[in-house]
Structure 1
Amino acid sequence: MAGVEKINGVPVTETQIAEWVAEAEAGYDVEALKRRGRGRPGRGAEPAQVVALRLTADELEALDARAAREHKSRSELIREAIAAFAA
């Protein structure tokens, strides 16, 4: 090998490659792979919309501080604020 191949910064060994080849040659259960799903789980019956939001540095800092205090994500806090506003 000319250079060292890495995955997430970890060098890939010849042993790992041989194991992956053996696994591929043995075949995969396509139905099991399809069942794994992709992406984040849904939040409702319909796909959720992604909405861009621009915040100032001060607004973002305040949001992150509150999120840290409440052990929540930015998105959770924003959704809660919208729900409270719309109620």
Structure 2
Amino acid sequence: MESDQRINGVPVTEEQIEAWAAEAEAGFDVDALKKRGRGRPGRGAQPSQVIALRLTEEELASVDELAAREGTSRSEIIRKALARFAA
């Protein structure tokens, strides 16, 4: 029986499902999985906290302009500002 399930537009076959099941039953190498580079890179030894921050359009435009001039991200500009403020 052929599945109508797809991953990134590619049909998932019964053979692929059986291969995934066999891999799972054999067990996974956790260290190898951690090295795959999925997600954003870590910023330290512990997971980072994600926070919500409300800015006006003018504030956000200023942050974006500075980030563009420095060739960095909004987040990095905000982290630098917080570090300077806390110093």
1:12 & 1:22 partners in 2: Cα distance? 19
Give the alignment's TM-score, normalised by structure 1. 0.58
Matches within 5 A, 1:1-87: 4-7=4-7, 9-14=8-13, 15-25=15-25, 27-29=26-28, 32-33=29-30, 35=31, 36=34, 41-43=42-44, 48-87=48-87
> What SS does the corresponding residue of 2:61 show, helix, strand or coil?
helix
Q: How many residues align?
A: 81
TM-score by length of 2: 0.58
Contact 1:64–1:74 (Cα < 8 Å) also in 2: yes
Q: C-alpha displacement at 1:16, in angstroms?
A: 2.5
**What RMSD over aligned residues (CA atoms) do the two structures have, in Å?**
3.4
CA distance in 1, matches of 2:85, 2:50: 19
SS of aligned partner of 1:55 = coil
* Structure 2 gap segments, 5+ residues each: none
Which sits farther off after the overlay, 60-69 or 70-79?
Answer: 60-69
Return the offset for 1:18.
Answer: 3.3
Tell me how far apart the structure 2 counterparts of residues 49 and 18 of structure 1 sit (CA, whole Å).
38
Measure, in 1, the Cα distance between the counterparts of 2:70 and 2:11: 40
Shift of 1:47: 5.9
Distance across 1 between alignment mates of 2:3 and 2:16: 16
SS at match of 1:72: coil
Report sequence identity in percent.
46
